[in-house]
Homo-oligomer: A and B are copies of this chain.
Amino acid sequence: MTEQMLEALAKKIKSCRNVTVLTHYHPDGDTIGAGFGLCYYLRSVGVMANVKNSEEFPAKFAYLFKDYKNQDFEEEAVISVDVADPKLLGPALESYADKVDICIDHHASNRLFAKESFIDGGCCSACLIIYDLLKTLKAKITPLMADCLYTGISTDTGCFMYESTSPEAHRAAADLIELGANASAINRSMFQIKSRGRIFAEQKMIGTMKFADSGSIALIAITNDIIDNFGVDRADLDGFAAIPLTVEGVRIGITLKQQPEDERLFKVSIRTLDADASAIAQNFGGGGHIRAAGCSISGELDEVAEKIIAVAEKYL
């Protein structure tokens, strides 16, 4: 975000009182980190502030809000963080769709639904924008705020692995570690530790991996059987979609997720190294980004696998 935008945003933030910070549905490390990071900053300068989500925040992020309590005040300003579209506020917050005063986001696709939007589509994470904002505000960043912001930067860059990892992301991480972020504990819990169910479910799925086109396409299926047998939390299924593309030679990775309410319905995740994932998904009425997209297909597992592979082959 340009310094000019940051200055303008900082000026707006300084004028806010009694703030509700909105985070997106199916909350991830970036929206949670940005939401609580901003909330703790506001509270630290005497502004009443709460963070809201349509769901409960996942327990794995509890280190960011274990001592957090909602404050009681009459809301005067609404700020959303990491929310690209009002639909992403989720069912419990949908009444906020046209009530957002300030939108802070790093998605180029942001729908500009707020009264004022501060978007940097080139930035790797909302937390990096919040960090730059707090620097502009000359905030005293506490270790807890540093944990919040480090969490979002690290999770949204795959622990500094993805192409989106900018020099600025590394420099912010350096500063946040100096400010007290528990980087290694955060990374261990975000990236390394898996539940026993998850690790065995992964093993089971890898065992059933199918290859096509001499290994350029790999497909795994997450069936209701596997989920039930290994007691895997469905919320814990993110990340499975990345597995097929980690096999050497694979350029299109496909993950089929059987739906609990209909065993003949599969949600399909498509990840690609160089092919157009979104174009593949569009063949089945889906869509997404160029390297990560999704759709839904009905049928028996084998049939669905054949269908999606037949289409994917055309995009190699």
Contacts and interface: CB of A to CB of B under 8 A. Distances in A.
A203 interface: yes
Contact of A200 (B200, B206, B245): B206
B207 A203 contact: yes
Q: Is the interface of A mostly helix, strand, loop or mixed?
A: helix
A249 interface: yes
A86 B241 CA distance: 45
In the complex, the count of this chain's copies comes to: 2
A192 B243 CA distance: 9
A177 B171 CA distance: 11
Contacts of A187: 160-161
A280 to B, nearest CB: 21
A79 to B, nearest CB: 28
Nearest to A175: B167
Contacts of A248: 193-196
Nearest to A196: B247
A246 B192 contact: yes
Nearest to A206: B203
Contacts of A170: 160, 170-171, 173-174, 177
A163 interface: yes
